Chain A
Amino acid sequence: MESPAIVTRIIEQHCARPGALLPMLHEIQDALGCIPPEAVPPIATALNLSRAEVHGVISYYAHFRQEPPGRHVVRVCCAEACQAVGGEALAEHARARLAGSDVTLEPVYCLGLCACGPSVQVDESTLHARVTPEKFDALIAALESAP
């Protein structure tokens, strides 16, 4: 299905729900990898909002992106519990390792893995605990060598 058709289907599916905007945006991003600018006008029309209001919501939340990410998204936890066990050094290492890579690196403020940090999330649902720089390099190498 083409992107506009996917957006139309998702809008139709959700627009009658109370507080439909966030579920709608989540589903569009899950399907397309981001919320493209051309999705904003039909969402605004369906929910009787201004385009500015829809854009305001998209830009407010760190989770929503307006451009497609790299081939993979790697999130490194930068919150206190991971800082206490070397999280900052890991984040620093990750920045250097992924500079120029097609893997998108993002900070995340807590994955709820605070007793086994530093923690890393790959593509929404794969989690890694007690990540050292060496372990990080191994998991990136595995991601990059996968088809």
Chain B
Amino acid sequence: MRTTIFVPGDAAALAQGADAVAAAIAAEAARRDMAIRLVRNGTRGMVWLEPLVEVVTSSGRIAYGPVTAADVPGLFAANFATGSVHALCLGPTEDIPWLAGQQRLACRRIGVVDPRSLADYIARGGGEGLRRARAMAPAEIVRAVTDSGLRGRGGAAFPAGIKWQTVLATPAAQKYIVCNADEGDSGTFSDRMLMEGDPFCLLEGMAIAGLAVGATQGFIYVRSEYPHAVAALDAALAEAGDFLGNFKVEVRKGAGSYVCGEETALLESLEGKRGIVRAKPPLPAVAGLFGQPTVINNVITLASVPDILAQGATAYRELGCGRSRGTLPFQLAGNIKYGGLVEVPFGLTLRQLLYDFGGGSRSGRPLRAVQVGGPLGAYLPASQFDSVLDYEAFAAIGAGLGHGGIVAFDDAVDLAKQARYAMKFCAIESCGKCTPCRIGSTRGVEVIDRIRAGQHEQIELLQELCETMTQGSLCAMGSMTPIPVLSALRHFEEDFR
């Protein structure tokens, strides 16, 4: 019988040499005249163990990692295809504590399935949500999503069901489902992992959204920095056949603009224009893409939907805490020992993620600051590591969970420099439509430069500038850039002196 061997084709595995490992395995198997089936799966999300090679044995999937091409002959010599002992053997994949301690819903199949095979997707429970949705009235599907408590996972945490209800209730000949896959926040990669590792799940979620609101056309707007995700989605669409019924999906590539992750700028970009933010109202749900009612949701939001339909809204709602229901795929990034994707229900503390999962810093030095929620997220000091991971709890401390990205910094970090970078990034990426963002960010860089040069009386000016940006900007780019700046100033004032 042919042994099945998994070698991830995920970008984070490729960046660590997975293609060379796959080639070495194929060559060594051929040399030994051994029949194998080599599957390029997604990543299990344990990025420090990539390339993580798995073999299918009678006692389940056994993991080896991190594997280099040079390790491959030794693995074959040790008969690793039977799950035998080897220095790199990690035992059954599912029993690795880092993975066993998670509760994966949206990401349950990433790294498990063959992302190119619809049959494998179906065999692992895929398609059940869509099958059920087809037997439901549109309003029933919307109610299930509303009842689940699912909120937008892109960062704004707006209830998905309410958005869908607005689109359902707005009559139009043509409506659209748009997937926001412009995952530009540093420290986030869950969208990328899902698109590369389980693309059919996203397509299924979009098709369900289509049934719910009466849309037959979908667009996935993927950032151009993610060529592997684009390729995986295109391959899945080519393989999809009639899986999606009459729902059509097209993949569109962004072009390196961060602000296009803002939903109205994304719609402008999809329409072929500069990615300039639109004033709201009208909401995209009423007048979105090409002026038509449009559901625009993040990748993880849409990928959570099939499970909600298949398992029921209650099962999803029972997880989490407060008004944050279900799970969030957190991403541990930056200076962290065990980085990767941790999908858990809301309610853990930041400290649990950083130390129980993350193992502290990669450098071995103390963690000094953590930025949660991307470039527009707050810098938190160690005294706030016991904060509970829940949308409201984070809002209460002037922070946000955003898209779940957590970037750790050790004690070498200079928070005044990070604050300057936040303003600089805003200046680079501002769409230019509103003055507080366009001009304020450039003035912000200058003011921070003066503070760092010793003009401490300028701190008050910086605070006033941040107030203007917060109150006067059109979208989150300008209004939230002050969050990293002011949190750095509040918690790490010594760095500005």
Contacts and interface: CB of A to CB of B under 8 A. Distances in A.
Interface string A46-65: 01000000001100111110
Contacts of A84: 333-335, 407-410, 413
Interface string A3-28: 00000000000000011111101100
Nearest to B271: A19
A23 B253 CA distance: 7
A21 B188 CA distance: 28
A108 B405 CA distance: 18
Max chain B Cβ within 10 angstroms of own Cβ: one of A25, A61, A108, A121:
A61
Contact of A60 (B186, B275, B407): B275
A82 interface: yes
B228 interface: yes
Q: Please classify the interface of chain A as helix (H, G, I), strand (E, B), loop, or mixed, using the class held by over half of its residues.
A: loop
Interface string B380-419: 0000000000000000000000000101111001000010
A115 interface: yes
B227 A125 contact: yes
B272 A19 contact: yes
Contact of B47 (A21, A83, A115): A115
B352 interface: no
B7 interface: no
A117 to B, nearest CB: 7
A61 B271 CA distance: 14
Contacts of B336: 115
A18 B292 CA distance: 13
Contacts of A85: 334-335, 362-363
A119 B12 CA distance: 10
Contacts of A20: 272
Interface in B412-440: 413, 418, 421, 425, 428-429
A112 B225 contact: yes
A42 to B, nearest CB: 15
Contacts of A22: 252-255, 269-270, 272
A81 interface: yes
A62 B275 CA distance: 11
B255 A114 contact: no
Given A64-B255, A116-B48, A109 B186 contact: yes
Nearest to B484: A80
A112 B339 CA distance: 12
Contact of B339 (A57, A110, A114, A124): A114
A108 to B, nearest CB: 6
Interface size class of B (residues with CB under 8 A): 35 or more
Contacts of A19: 252, 270-272, 290
A113 B15 contact: yes
Contacts of A124: 227
Given A80-B186, A112-B189, A129 B413 contact: no
Contacts of B187: 79-81, 114
B347 interface: no
B80 interface: no
B189 A113 contact: yes
B66 to A, nearest CB: 10
A116 B290 contact: no
Interface string A107-147: 01111111111010100110111100000000000000000
Interface in B1-50: 11-12, 14-16, 47-48, 50
A119 to B, nearest CB: 6
Interface in B207-246: 224-228
A128 B227 contact: no
Given A56-B274, A61-B275, A84-B335, A110 B12 contact: no
B198 interface: no
Nearest to B185: A110
B307 to A, nearest CB: 23
Nearest to B192: A112
A81 B409 CA distance: 8
Nearest to A24: B272
Nearest to A129: B15
A116 B16 contact: yes
Nearest to B358: A115
A11 B331 CA distance: 40
Contacts of B407: 80-81, 84, 114
A80 B363 CA distance: 16
Contacts of A115: 12, 47-48, 189, 331-333, 336, 339-340
Contacts of A81: 186-187, 333-334, 405, 407
| Top-9 shortest CB links A-B | A115-B339, A21-B272, A79-B186, A114-B333, A84-B334, A61-B255, A63-B256, A62-B256, A127-B15
Given A80-B418, A117-B334, A127-B11, 8 more contacts: A22-B255, A26-B253, A57-B273, A79-B425, A84-B413, A115-B340, A116-B15, A119-B15
25 contacts: A19-B252, A19-B271, A57-B272, A57-B273, A64-B255, A79-B186, A79-B375, A80-B421, A81-B334, A81-B407, A84-B333, A84-B334, A85-B335, A109-B184, A109-B428, A109-B429, A110-B186, A112-B12, A112-B225, A114-B334, A115-B331, A115-B333, A116-B12, A116-B339, A124-B227
